[in-house]
Amino acid sequence: MAVSVPAPTLRRVFWRGLLLQAAWNRRGMQNLGFAYAIEPALRVLYPDPALRREALRRHLATFNCHPYMAAAIVGGAIHHEEKVAAGEEPAGAPLKYKEVLQGPLAAVGDGFFWAGLRPFFGALGAVGTLLFGWPALLAAVVAYNAIQLWLRWTFFSAGYRSGDAVVERISALSLPRWAGRLRDAGAALAFAGAALLALAARASDGWGALAVSLLSFGGGWWALSRGARLMPCAYGAMLFGALAGTVLARLGGGP
């Protein structure tokens, strides 16, 4: 008789999954975190201690994925463990599922979260702080974490409900396309922050400050268009804006 993992246990697994990297190690990478996350589900599916130990042992195999995208694999592994417990799949099915998906999902997560979403909210927080003070920074941090937690739960639920079909579910979100849009928006915000820093230096020559701000924005955008990485471009533009604005202020006799 097939056994389904109850909703409270699934929620417990999800929250445990946030600690995926807490026990990162060179030998198995995220394997201990994965086993810790999925253990409550295995306890439901395998009342026999011997079978539960065997199931837990297979999840101690080497595992490494983007920590946010790994939620889909945790959910999918439970999907397959339910079938293994019901005798519908061989014991190696959950491990095969993990091996196939961890690499591609890691690449998707790196591109969307690390190169798109996080830099965008970092730039948004920086510019917001320059304009409105620390509450804007707090709002950016809260918004970023709300989005990433919602996406993690979406991935986890999709993995549990659809198993192998989670690939199509994630593809439908068009994360690479959104990553490109967020990258461009983050660049624009970062270079706008550089311009604001130039103006914030309070140069006495208003035209000089405007010129520095335009150079900060335009130079950073030009470097990005030539293939440079976003964060070095953003930091470089901000540093140039702050230093050049300060020099103008000193030359002009400003504060």
- Tens of pLDDT along the chain (255 residues)? 567 899 999 999 999 999 999 999 999 999 999 999 999 999 999 999 999 999 999 999 999 999 999 999 999 999 999 999 989 999 999 999 999 999 999 999 999 999 889 988 988 888 888 788 899 999 999 999 999 999 999 999 999 999 889 999 999 999 999 988 888 787 777 777 766 766 665 544 556 666 766 776 677 667 777 777 766 776 777 677 667 766 766 665 444
Same domain, 184 and 157: no
Q: How far is CA 178 from CA 115, 191, 220, in A?
A: 11, 20, 21
Residue 29 has φ and ψ, to the nearest 5°, of: 60, -105
Same domain, 138 and 206: no
- Alpha carbon 36 to its chain's center: 21
pTM score: 0.83
Q: Is there a contact between 237 and 194 (Cβ–Cβ < 8 Å)? A: yes
The residue among 145, 167, 189 that closes a domain is 167
3-state secondary structure of 7: helix
Same domain, 92 and 162: yes
Same domain, 163 and 183: no
Q: Is there a contact between 13 and 40 (Cβ–Cβ < 8 Å)? A: yes
User: Which residues form the domain of 59?
Assistant: 1-167
Secondary structure letter of residue 24 according to DSSP: -
The count of structural domains within the chain is: 2
Q: How many CB atoms lie within 10 A of CB 204?
A: 14
